[in-house]
Chains A and B, each alone.
Chain A
Amino acid sequence: MKKKYLFTLFICAISFFVLIGCSSKSKSASSGGEGDGKEQVTLDYWASWNPGSVEEEKTLAKIKKFEEEHPNIKINVELLTFDMMHDKLIASISAGNPPDISWGLSEWFGELNRMGALLDLTPYYNEWSDKGKLNQNVMDSLTVDGKVKALPQYLGIRALLYHEDMLKEAGYDAPPETWDELLEMGPKIKEATGKEAFGITGTTVRSSQELLMYLAQSDVSIAQKMDDGNFKNTWADNPEEMKRATETFQFYKDLLNEGAIPEDSKTWGWQELDTNFAIGKYAMNVDGSWMKDREAENPDEMADVKIAPPPYNTKPATFLEVSPLYVYGATEHPKEAWEFASYILSEEWQSDIRPTNSPRTDVVSDSQWGEGFTSLTDTGVVFPEVPLGGITQAMQDSIARLLLKGEDPQDVAEWLSKAINEDLKKNGILSE
């Protein structure tokens, strides 16, 4: 009898958990009844701001305002980290169920575009009264064959950040303008302060962004669009380009050999790079305006930080991280999605939430964290619009081959050139 009772209890427990656990609300309806003669629309918006941050507070207030001004549109926000977002986007796009709008990395642009996931925003963009207010260089990076495929929601332009006091301690009044000057300063800063002059990343997406920038500073790109509309890494076809690519890898090697970078920075990711700079463990790095937030956490160590253009080899260049706002072709409400996307790009939103890193030419902060970065926009380089998963991984691997395995810079340049073309071929976009 007791056993029977236990068995019944067991079955009840299952039913209880199944019923309680699964009595969740289902996916929000994307459209509902009529209100003020307009269809009620819910837009799914996937974003990646810091939970609990001032940015979140301001953004939610702006979304609330938007909903009040557009009573037929409701914004359903889902907060995700970028790592989570990419996998989730790929799964939902493959299932034909992406959100209406999402944040994303510029590295995903080629991949999402080739999947046919992005809405052609050209007709809406052309009729938008503020279209002249966006930086052309930035818009070009989101335009494919004359079609606007995404919008820039903020810029993560990179500049040289340096601890002025450390440089002064070593007898320097100004930061380096070229790679040679930087390499020359390395041992002197080390001698005077006991700390390394510079920081780099050897892992995470930041390292491929840095490598792209250093290659651009040597006037080479990882893949060029050819006449047939496809792409190719041309280093192997052009000895001059191969020489310049090799110089870039030699620069990495020199930084390490000359003691200009900490020994362990060859395996740093962005967290180590940013944190170690913020706590004053080395003198300079190429970083973004988000480092301003570290002033609050490390006010003493960050007090002497100044901003300058990144040192270069033959051509001034910096990485222009355009953070795209993707609007998906599968949306059932493209007009409403555009309404919201264009509100995010409005002067009101941008000057409140993106005062220092806006893609708008009329939103520029006077502080060094604003002007210091946006003044570099014209020298900005972006990734080519090709699927980048394999290519950025190959770029990270090339740094590991160079700094961890100690391979020869020319061998590494040749290897990377081949790896990039193999990946382009795998994606069916290699120009033969």
Chain B
Amino acid sequence: MILNKRQRFWTKIVTYAVLLFFAVYCLFPFIWMTVTALKPIDEIRSSKPSFLIDSPTLENFKNVLFNTGFLTFFKNSLIVSVAATIITLLISIFAGYALSRFMRFKGIKATGGAMSLSQMVPPVLLLIPLYVLMQQYNLLNTHYSLILAYTTFMVPLCTFMLKGFFDSVPYEMEEAAEIDGCSRVRIIFQIVLPISIPSLLATSLFAFVNSWNEYMFGFVFINDEAQRTLTPGITLFKGLYTTDWGSIMSASVLAVIPIAVIFMYLQKYLIEGMAAGSVKG
């Protein structure tokens, strides 16, 4: 449809108005969180809530960083998330490749089906069986329990994400490498993976963010404060009868920073990676 100048102008106005509305809608919680983190307690509890801060303070951040176990929780989350991401990626690369290239085999087909089915089981249903399992293997209260649980839940989805991308990699490239005497593992690492960087980054980001944000297994499997991860750690500011909103908000702001930074730098790859497996060609 051809639009005249006036119509183009109004279309632009409406588009930007809608985009602005959704941007404000999405950003509001983050802005409110940051503003609250910078407010002193009497302004947080004020009967007239406002975006403007009369006496901005870093007291909440200081309290979170120096008087609580926040840094320990942060370190633990980082270790667990990075380890779970690497292991998930390693397994998913091979599993995704197998699903992409050997779907004609019955066993592979059945494994793919089983992986799809496993996505339909809510994690909360597996809480008690997994707890018992971790206890029997003496893994409770260690990072191993979390890494294993997170990997278990992320491998199927990451496998399907990577399978989608591997499907779009021309098989002829592998055949050429094979003719040159390249082994299957070498093909994966030297031919397929180097051209799959955007997809690998998107999958790693997905795995990392999921591990970073996980809450339920984090609080059920871990008893020791020294091993606790960030999400259950932050909820401790919610006390018995009162909630320390200033500390919760500043801890949340600090917890969001790594994810925000990663997204900012890798956004380009993320979009490429998401789109990569969507069209087969």
Contact = CB atoms under 8 A, between A and B. Distances in A.
Contact of B144 (A22, A275, A279): A22
Across the A-B interface, the 6 shortest Cβ-Cβ residue pairs: A50-B239, A21-B79, A290-B241, A17-B83, A279-B47, A21-B143
A27 interface: yes
Dominant SS among interface residues on chain B: helix
Contacts of A28: 224
Given A27-B141, A78-B223, A87-B216, A279 B87 contact: no
Contact of B224 (A24, A52, A53, A288): A24
Contact of A279 (B46, B127, B241): B46
Given A49-B240, A84-B235, A25 B219 contact: no
B242 A88 contact: no
Interface string B110-154: 000000000000000001100110010010111110010000000
Contacts of A294: 242
Contacts of B142: 22, 24, 26
Interface in B184-208: 189-190
Dominant SS among interface residues on chain A: helix
Nearest to B46: A279
Interface of B: 41-42, 45-47, 63, 67-68, 79-80, 82-83, 86-87, 90, 127-128, 131-132, 135, 138, 140-144, 147, 189-190, 216, 219-220, 223-227, 232, 235-244
Nearest to A288: B241
Contacts of A126: none
Interface stretch (A90-98, A207-215, A224-232): A90-98
A18 interface: yes
Interface residues of A, number: 53
B235 A81 contact: yes
A290 B128 contact: no
Interface in A356-414: none
Contacts of A278: 45
Contact of B128 (A20, A91, A275, A281): A91
Nearest to B76: A21
Contact of A82 (B141, B224, B240): B240
Contacts, number: 126
A3 interface: yes
A75 interface: no
A7 B193 CA distance: 12
A21 B80 contact: yes
Contact of A24 (B47, B82, B143, B235): B143
A1 to B, nearest CB: 12
B224 A88 contact: no
22 contacts: A7-B189, A14-B87, A14-B90, A17-B79, A17-B82, A22-B147, A25-B141, A26-B142, A79-B225, A80-B236, A84-B219, A84-B235, A88-B219, A90-B128, A91-B220, A95-B132, A271-B243, A278-B45, A279-B45, A290-B242, A293-B242, A301-B47
Given A22-B144, A26-B142, A301-B47, 5 more contacts: A26-B141, A79-B225, A80-B236, A275-B45, A290-B241
A13 B42 CA distance: 47
A166 to B, nearest CB: 13
A298 interface: yes
A51 B244 CA distance: 9
Contacts of B190: 3
A107 to B, nearest CB: 15
A297 interface: yes
Nearest to B142: A24
Interface in A272-290: 274-275, 278-281, 288, 290
A28 B87 CA distance: 28
A53 B236 CA distance: 12
A156 to B, nearest CB: 8
Given A24-B143, A97-B135, A297 B83 contact: no
Contact of B236 (A25, A81, A301): A81
A52 B63 contact: yes
Nearest to A55: B240
A24 B219 contact: no
Nearest to B67: A52
A80 B219 CA distance: 9
Interface in A61-117: 78-84, 87-88, 90-92, 94-95, 97
